[in-house]
């Protein structure tokens, strides 16, 4: 019994070192839904996230902003005018309850809180959430701990060293993604030797055999926005095959249902 226990401890340590369960769930080719599926006209809404899950996506991408009362909502823009019918001003100037009364244009859905999203998803897909501002980091990490969601949530730190270091210092266990805009930034990220920095996002001109090989050699995954490869921004269908063909692992698509279909025929 003692040997079995030792083996389990060793396996747990190895899993953590290699990125944990979350990295094991991201088996390429991976389909990601940008804002849940931008072109279904219900971006960053609970209804769209549920539809993405029903469509069979692996990853749901979304945007996080802090409220005035230090909570977190899922919303892309800094201000409310363009995306909502009845609210104005910066998101951070409003309390959570005030934001719940805002109605998104076209869909008429409410702005979801990050808690609502985690309660909906429950690990059925992996969440890829972007810190849109520094003030969203601490409350978002607190909510992930509350839901015990470390193995099915990872956060985008964009290309900001400050954002990455803030998140990592607050939570050594949280899974992160860093955007490498050039080879210098890529080498900096890989030099961190951080097993919980699980994904490197590469801009379109950075998705080269050399850069992909560096990321894979470090035991991490390559992500890129598939809509960057399409003049129509994927309005007429996904372009995920272009991403996978270049060696990237995760394709973030505006047309996730079409992307899932491409994966089924991918060889």
The pLDDT assigned to 218 comes to 97
- In this structure, is residue 5 part of a structural domain? no
With CA atoms as reference, report the closest residue to 29 among 218, 266, 219.
Answer: 266
The pLDDT assigned to 63 comes to 97
Q: What is the DSSP pairing of strand 126-131 with strand 153-156?
A: parallel
Confidence class of residue 4 from pLDDT cuts 50, 70 and 90?
A: very low
The pLDDT assigned to 231 comes to 72
Q: What is the CATH number of the domain that holds 119?
A: 3.20.20.190
Which helix (H) or strand (E) is 3 found in, with range? helix 2-17
Rounded CA gap, 45 and 154, in Å? 19
- In this structure, is residue 12 part of a structural domain? no
Q: What is the mean pLDDT of the chain?
A: 92
Looking at the 3D structure of the chain, how many domains does it have? 1
Q: Which residues pair with 90 in a beta bridge?
A: 79
The pLDDT assigned to 11 comes to 34
- In this structure, is residue 50 part of a structural domain? yes
Confidence class of residue 236 from pLDDT cuts 50, 70 and 90?
A: confident
- In this structure, is residue 97 part of a structural domain? no
Q: pLDDT at residue 5 above 70?
A: no
Torsion of CA 12, 13, 15, 16, to 10 degrees: 120
Kindly state the greatest CA–CA separation across the chain.
Answer: 63
Q: pLDDT at residue 119 above 60?
A: yes
Confidence class of residue 40 from pLDDT cuts 50, 70 and 90?
A: confident
- In this structure, is residue 96 part of a structural domain? no
The pLDDT assigned to 155 comes to 98
Which helix (H) or strand (E) is 130 found in, with range? strand 126-131
Sequence-ordered list of residues with C-beta below 8 angstroms from that of 258, at least 6 positions apart, any chain: 234, 237, 238, 240
- In this structure, is residue 104 part of a structural domain? no
- In this structure, is residue 15 part of a structural domain? no
Go through the chain and tell me how many residues it has: 267
Which helix (H) or strand (E) is 215 found in, with range? helix 209-217
The pLDDT assigned to 39 comes to 83
- In this structure, is residue 102 part of a structural domain? no
> What pTM value is reported for the model?
0.91
Q: What is the span of the domain harbouring residue 46? A: 20-78+112-264
Mean pLDDT for the stretch of residues 177-187: 97
Peptide bond into 29 cis (omega under 30): yes
Q: pLDDT at residue 211 above 70?
A: yes
Confidence class of residue 267 from pLDDT cuts 50, 70 and 90?
A: low
Read off the tokens for 220.
């991490």
Q: pLDDT at residue 79 above 80?
A: yes
């Amino acid at each position: 019994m003692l040997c079995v226990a030792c083996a389990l401890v060793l396996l747990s340590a190895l899993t953590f070192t290699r990125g944990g369960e979350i990295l094991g769930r991201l088996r390429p080719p991976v389909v990601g839904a940008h804002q849940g599926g931008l072109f279904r006209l219900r971006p960053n809404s609970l209804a769209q996230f549920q539809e993405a899950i029903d469509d069979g996506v692996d990853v749901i991408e979304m945007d996080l902003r802090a409220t005035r009362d230090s909570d977190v909502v899922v919303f892309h823009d800094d201000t409310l005018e363009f995306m909502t019918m009845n609210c104005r001003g910066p998101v951070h100037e409003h309390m959570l309850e005030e934001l719940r009364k805002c109605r998104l244009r076209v869909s008429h859905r409410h702005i979801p809180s990050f808690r609502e999203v985690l309660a909906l998803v429950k690990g059925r897909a992996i969440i890829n959430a972007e810190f849109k501002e520094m003030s969203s980091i601490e409350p978002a990490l607190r909510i992930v701990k509350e839901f015990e969601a470390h193995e099915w949530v990872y956060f985008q730190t964009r290309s900001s060293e400050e954002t990455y270091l803030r998140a990592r210092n607050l939570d050594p266990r949280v899974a992160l993604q860093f955007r490498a805009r050039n080879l210098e930034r890529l080498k900096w990220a890989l030099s961190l030797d951080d097993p919980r920095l699980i994904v490197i996002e590469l801009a379109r001109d950075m998705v080269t055999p050399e850069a992909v090989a560096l990321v894979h050699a470090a035991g991490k995954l390559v992500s890129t926005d598939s809509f960057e490869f399409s003049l129509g921004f994927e309005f007429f269908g996904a372009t995920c095959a272009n991403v996978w063909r270049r060696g990237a692992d995760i394709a973030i698509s505006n047309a996730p249902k079409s992307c899932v279909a491409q994966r089924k025929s991918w060889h």
